[in-house]
């Protein structure tokens, strides 16, 4: 996200994740919400089945 705009990153991820889904692949990605704006978080979140969010000392799983 630090090298390209949100639209370019979204297109790349959308194609890549679609191809991996076609071969039953899985992806584990990290995005630091403190390092990017809320628009970027909201845009990329729609590409994944679930999102882990830090809550206190633990983690919460959010379905997208």
Element housing 40 (H / E): helix 38-45
- Regarding pTM above 0.85, the answer is no
Residue 60: the pLDDT is 92
Q: What is the DSSP letter of 62?
A: E
Q: Which residues contact 6 (CB under 8 A, 6 or more apart)?
A: 39, 40, 43, 44
What percentage of the chain's residues is helix, strand, coil (to nearest 5)? 40, 20, 40
Residue 18: the pLDDT is 92
Q: Are 31 and 44 in contact (CB under 8 A)?
A: yes
pLDDT tens figures, 4-52: 999 999 999 999 999 998 898 888 888 887 888 888 888 988 898 888 8
The residue extents of the domains of the chain are 6-63
């Amino acid at each position: 996200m630090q090298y390209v705009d949100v639209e370019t990153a979204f297109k790349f991820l959308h194609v890549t994740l679609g191809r991996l889904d076609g071969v039953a692949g899985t992806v584990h990605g990290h995005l630091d919400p403190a390092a990017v704006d809320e628009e970027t978080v909201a845009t990329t979140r729609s590409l994944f089945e679930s999102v882990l969010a830090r809550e206190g000392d633990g983690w919460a799983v959010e379905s997208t």
